């Protein structure tokens, strides 16, 4: 038996995450991916970028501090290899490349700013064998703060994949309401067109918001949430104030506002694809980075 230790840093629009995982290798079995540490820092880069066009001095400092801390954590865990990927907010920030250089200088962590297509490809590379039935069709929806990645699977293979500039933090900006509405229309048209040839389609949802909804539902892992449940929960959340979602539901402050637009995206995807259920594996970009690292694909 051999154990390899990898780390993934996911710099998103709503938060920054460090995932450290063991990959357990043996001659008799397929590689086993075991999460041993997950650190989430609520630095909302999207709030800066989607309204001001660049990342503020305050958040630049917080990013440097976070990366220095992540560097130390990786050293303590004796991580042999890592990748740090930045997504939507850093992609669109006017000072994104400048910040990448600053962080590399201050923490010795190298960050790659990736496009939406690569982000979708890495997310789709995650191990979904426990959920995916090779004879069925699925729409994998990963909702982030600045973008959402959609991937169609059928017979165990990727049919089509797209990334759209529609995310939870971006949707909080009421000044961009018309832009978001137009993007919703584009997504609706694409999903309906692609879904036509894929009967009995189910959704697979990933992201912190759907994980939070699934956890509160009390559903057994591996079992799906129904469209009826998701729709009722969406109405329930909308009826509560921001403060009530924090005090009564125990949501984190940076989750209590974005959970509503996130639920709207999942519900819309279910409606447009004709899906009556959504499966919720605990995977995302960071998991895809770990898997791709081990397989030597990034």
Listed by start position, the domains of the chain span 2-117, 128-282
- 3-state SS record for the chain: CEEEEEEEEEECCCCEEEEEEEEEECCCCCCEEEEEEEEEECCCHHHHHHHHCCCCHHHHHHHHHHHHHHHHHHHHCCCCEEEEEECHHHHHCCCHHHHHHHHHHHHCCCEEECCHHHHHHHHHCCCCCCCCCCCCEEEEEEECCCCEEEEEEECCEEEEEEEECCCHHHHCCHHHHHHHHHHHHHHHHHHHHHHCCCCCEEEEEECHHHHHHHHHHCCCCCCCEEHHHHHHHHHHHHHCCHHHHHHCCCCCHHHHCCHHHHHHHHHHHHHHHCCCEEECCCCCHHHHHHHHHHHCCC
Least Cα distance to 77 among 17, 141, 6 occurs for 6
State the CB neighbour count (10 A cutoff) for residue 282.
Answer: 12
Name residue 17's beta-bridge partners. Answer: 10, 40
Q: Report how far residue 106's alpha carbon sits from residue 101's, in angstroms, rounded to the nearest whole number.
A: 9
Same fold, 2-117 and 128-282: yes
pLDDT tens for the 298 residues of the chain, in order = 899 999 999 999 999 999 999 999 988 888 889 999 999 999 999 999 999 999 999 999 999 999 999 999 999 999 999 999 999 999 999 999 999 999 999 999 999 999 988 888 888 777 666 666 667 899 999 999 999 999 998 887 889 999 999 999 999 998 888 989 999 999 999 999 999 989 889 999 999 999 999 999 999 988 999 999 999 999 999 999 999 999 999 999 999 999 999 999 999 999 999 999 999 988 889 999 999 999 888 7
CATH number of 2-117: 3.30.420.40
Identify the residue whose tokens are 């104030």: 241
Per-residue pLDDT, 95: 97
Superfamily of structural domain 128-282:
Exopolyphosphatase. Domain 2 (3.30.420.150)
Per-residue pLDDT, 158: 86
Per-residue pLDDT, 123: 80
284, with CB counted inside 10 A (0-12, 13-18, 19+), is: buried
């Amino acid at each position: 038996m051999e154990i390899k230790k990898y780390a993934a840093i996911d710099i998103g629009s709503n938060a920054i995450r460090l995932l450290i995982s063991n990959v357990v290798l043996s001659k008799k079995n397929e590689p086993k991916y075991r999460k041993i540490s997950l650190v989430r820092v609520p630095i909302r880069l999207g709030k800066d970028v989607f309204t001001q066009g660049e990342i503020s001095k305050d958040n630049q400092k917080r990013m440097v501090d976070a990366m220095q801390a992540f560097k130390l954590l990786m050293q303590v865990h004796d991580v042999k290899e890592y990748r740090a990927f930045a997504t939507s907010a850093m992609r669109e920030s006017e000072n994104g490349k400048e910040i990448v250089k600053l962080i590399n200088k201050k923490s010795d962590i190298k960050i790659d700013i990736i496009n939406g297509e690569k982000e979708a490809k890495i997310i789709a590379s995650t191990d979904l064998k426990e959920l995916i039935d090779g004879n069925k069709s699925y729409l994998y929806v990963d909702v982030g703060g600045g973008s959402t990645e959609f991937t169609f699977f059928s017979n165990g293979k990727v049919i089509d994949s797209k990334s759209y500039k529609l995310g939870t933090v971006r949707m909080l900006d009421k000044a961009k309401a018309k832009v978001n509405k137009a993007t919703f229309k584009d997504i609706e048209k694409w999903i309906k067109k692609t879904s036509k040839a894929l009967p009995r389609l189910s959704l697979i949802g990933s992201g912190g918001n759907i994980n939070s909804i699934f956890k509160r539902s009390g559903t057994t892992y591996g079992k799906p949430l129904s469209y009826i449940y998701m729709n009722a929960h969406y109405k329930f959340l909308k009826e509560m104030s921001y403060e009530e979602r924090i005090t009564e539901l125990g949501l984190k402050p940076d989750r209590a506002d974005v959970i509503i637009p996130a639920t709207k995206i999942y519900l819309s995807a279910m409606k447009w694809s004709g899906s009556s259920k959504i499966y919720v594996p605990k995977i995302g970009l960071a998991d895809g980075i770990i898997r791709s690292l081990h397989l030597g694909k990034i």
